[in-house]
Every structure is written in C-alpha cells, then in structure tokens.
Amino acid sequence: MPGITPDTEVRFLPGVGPRRAAALAEVGIVRAGDLLLRLPFRYEDRSAHRPVAELADGDSAATEVLIASLSVRPTRRRNLRIVELRGHDASGPVKATWFNQVHLKQILRPGQRVLLFGKVKKPFAGAVPEFANPGYELVTGERERSAAGSAPLLPDAGGAPGEPASGDPGPGAHAGRIVPIYERVGSLTPRLLRTTLHRLLEGGAAVGPGQLPEELVGRMGLPSRRQALEAVHFPPDGASLAEFERRRSGAHQRLILEEFFVFALGLRMRRRQDRVDRPGRHTFTVDDDLRDLVRWVLPFRLTSSQRDALATIAEEFQSPLAMRRLLQGDVGSGKTIVAVIAALIVIHHGAQVALMAPTEVLAEQHFATIRALLEPHRIRVVLLTAGLGAAERRDTLQAVASGWAQFVVGTHSLIQDGARFRDLGFAVVDEQHRFGVAQRRTLVERGGGADLLVMTATPIPRTLTMALHGDLDLSELRELPPGRQPVSTLIRDSAGLPEVYARVREEVGKGRQAFYVCPLIEESEELPGAGVEARFRELSEGPFRGLRVDFVHGRVPAARREAVMSAFASGELDVLVATTVIEVGVDVPNATVMVVEHAERFGLAQLHQLRGRVGRGSDPATAILVVGGKPTESALRRLQVLEATTDGFRIAEEDLAIRGPGDFLGTRQSGIPPFRVADIVRDAEFLRLARKEASDFLASPAAATDEGTRILAHVRETWGERFGLTAGG
C-alpha cells in the first residue's frame, strides 16, 4: 500500500471508513501505526487439515469437506434461528451449526468445498462430529491452493452478518497456517482486522523506523521492525505455535523490548531534566543543633532501615541535584517519622516543607500526628484542605505565602492556584499511586525544583516499581519499629459471626478496642445490611449492646469525622464501625481486633492495610476476615495468602500474580503506563534489560549519532502522549 505511513489515519485505510474508525478510536487506535501494534491475543494452528474420521470430541481442528446441504431452522426461542450445514469428505459425514447467521445462506451453497475450523463435539463413538459456530473458508479452485494446502479466500467470506465485502487479502491470511486471532473492536470482527492488517503488511505500507539502536538489534539477534510486525501478525511457515502463544517469538521479543526501551529512555530523560543542577537551589546539611532537636522529637528508637533511609536522604540534601526518592515500606514500618525527621533538616535551614495526602481524612491524621511531634519544639504546622472555611483558608494561604507556616500538610489544595510558598525546599507525597505524575511535578515546581520524597504504605513488587516509579531512587523499610506485634489472621464465614462478636466483647472487656469494617457506606440489593450505618445500628442494638460504639465513613462531615476518630483514639469508644476510610494513617495502639465483613470483596493490599491498623501497641492483635456468600476461588486464594503471612512485600507479589498489573493499584488511576505490546509482569526481564540499555545508550557516544538523535527526538515528541506522562528534555 504505497503512501500508507504509520501516521495515516485509520479511516483512510481500505475497508475501514469513518464508522469503523470511530470504534477503533475508542480503544486508542487512531493511526495505522496504532493498528500495527494491536497484536493478536492468541493464535490458532489451521495449517493441518484432518480427515473427518479422525476428529475427536474436544479437538480444535480444521477439516475440508463438500457441502451436501445448508438449512435454516427456527427454535422455540423468539428471534433465534440455527443455520445447519451437512457435509462430508471421503472418510465420513460432518455437521456444522451457527446461531443467527442467516446471511450464510448467501455464501455457502451445496456443491461447494469449504474448510471448517473450530472445536469439535462428538459425544460418543459413531456420532457425527459437529462444529459449533466454526470459522470457515471456501475452497474455490486449484489456483488458490497454497503449497501447504491452505484454503483460498473469497471476498470477506466468514465476516460478520451484514459486513460488506472488502477485498481478497490473498491466500493464506485466514487458513492454512498459524492464524492470528484478534479481539473484536465494535463492528470490526477478528477476521476483518486480520484482513486489514494483511493488506497493510503485504501491500508494503511503511512501518516506520525502529526505535531500538541497530547495535542492540544486532547484538541480540533480533529481527528488523518490519520483519517483527509481519511475523507477529502472520507467523511464518515452521513457526512454533507455543512460542507465539507465550509471546516469546523473536518478533514478540523485538517489539516488547522496543516498547520498554522507549519508555525507559523517556524516564531517564525526565530524571536527567528533574535532577539538573539548578543555580540557587538549597542544599541542607546536618549539624549538632539539629541532632539535638531530632533526639528531642523522636518518640522511639529508629530501626536500622529507617536510619539507612535517613542517611541517604541527608546525603542527597547536600547535593546540588534535586532528590527524587521513593520510600516504600510495609504497614507500620515508620515512613512518616522518616519524613518528619527529614523535614526537620530542611526547616532547620529556614525552608518550608509540604506533605500532600490524597484524602482529607489522611491529611487530617498526618496533621494531628505531625503537629503533636513538632509544635512543642516551636515548629509551626498548618493544614490546607478544601474543607477549610473561607476565612480559615485565607489565613492559612497567607501563612504559607509569607513563610510563617514551616510545615504545610494538605491535599490537592497544595497545588491549586491559590497556594503559594515563600520557599518550598522539600515536598513529601504520600500514597503516590493515588496521584498523577503531573500532580507531584506541580508540587515540586512550587519550590523551583524542591527535593521530593514519595511514600507508599502499599509495598509494590520490583517490576511495578520500575514501571510506576522508574524515575525515582528507591529506599525500603522492611522492619517494624520496636514493640510492634505481628497480627494473627483468622478466616470465618458468616455462620461464625457469633464467635466474632464474642471475641470483640472479650477484648473490650480487657480494656482494648476494635475496628469493625464494612464494604459499603449504604446498603445495596446485592449486599443488604452491609452498609456502615445499618450495621452500626444492628451491632449497637444487638451483639455490642452496652458497648460504646460509633461509626465513620467518607461522607461524614469533616468536623464530626474528626471528633469520632479523636474519641476512638483517646479510648472514649470501644468499637468503631467504618468503611476503608480508616485504611491508612490511623494509629490507635490500644486497638487489638480488626473485623472485616465481606472480606472477599477487598484486594490483598487493602486487607493488609486494614490489618495494619491493629497490633500497633505491645498487646497481641487479631484480624478476623469474615467471608460472605460463596466467594470465588481467586478471593479465597487472596484470603489464604493473608492468613499465611504478614510480610507486605510477599503479599504484594502474590496480589500482582493474582490480579495482574491492571487491577493491582486500581486500573488506570494507578498511573501504570498503558503498554500496547509488553506486559510488566510477564515481561519483567525485558523491562530490566531495557532500563539498563537505555541508561547505557544515553551515556554513550551512540546518543549523539544521527540514529541516536532520531531516537531521542522521537521520545521527546511522543513519550508524554504515548504513556500518559510528561517527557523530559
């Protein structure tokens, strides 16, 4: 197809048009280059035709037969008609049926030869084998048979009902080979996508220059970009079906590595831009006065991993290059105290600190904790959230702008137009996966390139860390502070609720407290009684009658929510009924029981976070996960992982394996880049290789060659749009 380039809009491709182009655009396919990277999700081996007599029940097979009859018969169900083909070869008869595909009467006729492929049903010996909704290709003459015995193609035969003919893509696109199977997109059937892609590649459409250095391609023995695209869509004769199914063909490896390489280059370029030496940027050092202040502020002895993290941060504070660091730790590992001590270094030098949290609840909890630690030492801490009244907000913004506020805790309000810092030197972003990359960049730019510490209490597997935070250096906290107790975990079904209630009352009788978590704010038809307020009434009037019980959830007004949380923290309440609003940031050492109803509805990481709300004191603690209804096998597997371990890093790996990267942190909102070809779990070794090769490439003379200049220009121009992020320079 001369004239077709990767930038050609798909609506201009033969057989597509505006209506189908609109359907493709909904899944991110706008240009021909996007379509070329819409890879098959599986492959079928249609190369070997088997005699009818050799077909067995459950086989996926192809067979060539002569059509004896084709009929359409109604069923008892309204608007459902069955098309039935009867045919045979020299070894015996065969049957094929299709549902509501009456248009086949215009395509398949007695006396024609047809290749059928699909799953075979043959319930007993001697039964006529049957194909249900098989694929098919008409065999129209010797001139259209390939040497391998492939079936010929008629114009768009086997397409969707009412789908117009769109031309013959040539023999061997749909049968007689390993055939690519694509996900349907709107009215574009897998067959039509296959036809369009076959035309593009066979017609000589430009595929664009590769973005892998030729030296790397040669060193690894990879195919060219065109060879890779042709093979991944239409595997050559002799290709291994298993390799293609596992995405480990040479063609797949080339495209996976190329996508990761471009991604890694963009991260490296952005990192280089972020960490550039900025004239006038603060550097912060540690002196004896500061060491004395830290000793006064510290509520306990630091763990070795906390000390290591602080030593690294202190060293980076002294560099003219801005710090970009991820602090990852298990539940209760003491990330906040690391951030507070790092903040003291900055405040000691007269600069301001900002901590941005994703919710008002978490921001309020951070504010209370940090103010209690720092205000006795005359360090001024303020809270900036959308929930402030007009006058209070105005005064707070003035305190921030003037520099009077030394430590500012807030939500997105910190990066909105009204917020101005006099001298922001250090920015802390908590629970980073709930923010976009652009938001954290906006915050650090409020300080002209302030040092940045990203914190997450959700341990992230190394593979995901490379994809989500590849531009950040990593520190990990793997120890619990002294005095923290491991939490035992029990799984119970709803029939065991009386035992659960008794356990809560027993702990309260010892002077302890309990959390009781429900999955919903309000009841639903699916889960009646699972709403917080409904369960609060049932529990306080029934099993927990006589105990001091209250409730909280995200829709409770901020003032009342804070009052309830404070009452629970001070021991004025025995049981707090809540949603996952208490998932992070709540520190009540006296709480020793965490009950989670309908635990099968929660993810592993979320359950681990909830479990981390207890065991924060010196007494043994228990999490009781109550299963409702009939949980899926996957849900039970999640709960059993929690029962077996309290190691958040191991739990994160299991969670990723169970749910996959798309759901691990909440789909697109997690910030996981939308890779088209690669999979960050399946292809982790390629991501690691791409990171190394990208780093080596940028540091080598190859980056300054014509090829290197072209690759870097491509990354600058396309990286932000391609990965939903912002490219560096």
DSSP state of 663: H
Please say whether the beta carbons of 645 and 655 come within 8 A: no
Residue 156 confidence (pLDDT) = 33
Whether 276 shows a pLDDT value over 80: the answer reads no
Whether 163 shows a pLDDT value over 60: the answer reads no
Average pLDDT over residues 490-494: 92
Helix, strand, coil shares of the chain, percent, nearest 5, are: 40, 20, 40
Other Cβ atoms within 10 Å of 3 Cβ, number? 10
The token pair that represents 484 in the structure block: 């923290």
* Highest mean pLDDT: which range of 23-32, 45-54, 217-226, 597-606: 217-226
Dihedral (Cα; 678, 682, 684, 689), 10-degree rounding: -60
d(CA 169, CA 338): 63
pLDDT level of residue 543 (50, 70, 90 thresholds): very high
Average pLDDT over residues 208-237: 95
Residue with tokens 């691990």: 664
Whether 375 shows a pLDDT value over 80: the answer reads yes
Average pLDDT over residues 4-26: 91
- Over residues 317-364, the pLDDT tens digits come to 998 888 989 998 877 788 999 999 999 999 999 999 999 998 887 898
Residue 601 confidence (pLDDT) = 86
Residue 661 confidence (pLDDT) = 59
Residue 529 confidence (pLDDT) = 58
- Mean per-residue pLDDT of the chain: 85
The mean-pLDDT minimum among 120-134, 161-175, 518-532 falls in 161-175
pLDDT level of residue 299 (50, 70, 90 thresholds): confident
d(CA 680, CA 468): 10
- Over residues 233-266, the pLDDT tens digits come to 999 989 999 999 999 999 999 999 999 999 999 8
The token pair that represents 209 in the structure block: 């220059």
d(CA 614, CA 586): 9
Phi-psi group of 107: left, alpha or beta (phi > 0 → left; psi -120 to 50 → alpha; rest → beta): alpha
- Over residues 421-478, the pLDDT tens digits come to 999 999 999 875 566 667 877 888 887 778 999 998 766 776 667 766 677 888 988 8
% the chain with pLDDT above 70: 87
| Residues in the chain, total | 729
Phi–psi pair at 112, nearest 5 degrees: -85, 155
Q: Is 38 helix (H, G, I), strand (E, B) or coil?
A: coil
Average pLDDT over residues 616-636: 87
d(CA 46, CA 56): 16
Residue 166 confidence (pLDDT) = 40
d(CA 504, CA 540): 13
Whole-Å CA distances, 59 to 54, 66, 86: 10, 20, 19
The token pair that represents 99 in the structure block: 């549902």
Q: Is 211 helix (H, G, I), strand (E, B) or coil?
A: coil
d(CA 46, CA 66): 18
Whether 725 shows a pLDDT value over 60: the answer reads no
Whether 412 shows a pLDDT value over 50: the answer reads yes
d(CA 266, CA 722): 11
Helix (H) or strand (E) holding 711: helix 706-723
Name the nearest CA neighbour of 694 among 470, 411, 403. 470
The token pair that represents 513 in the structure block: 């407290």
Q: Write a three-state SS string for 172-205.
A: CCCCCCEEEECCCECCECHHHHHHHHHHHHHCCC
Dihedral sign computed on CA atoms, order 447, 451, 455, 459 = positive
Please say whether the beta carbons of 553 and 581 come within 8 A: yes
State how beta strands 324-329 and 473-477 pair. Answer: parallel
Please say whether the beta carbons of 157 and 107 come within 8 A: yes
- Over residues 655-709, the pLDDT tens digits come to 777 766 555 544 333 445 678 999 887 888 999 899 999 999 999 999 999 999 9
Other Cβ atoms within 10 Å of 435 Cβ, number? 21
Phi-psi group of 334: left, alpha or beta (phi > 0 → left; psi -120 to 50 → alpha; rest → beta): left
The token pair that represents 666 in the structure block: 């909440």
Q: Is 601 helix (H, G, I), strand (E, B) or coil?
A: helix
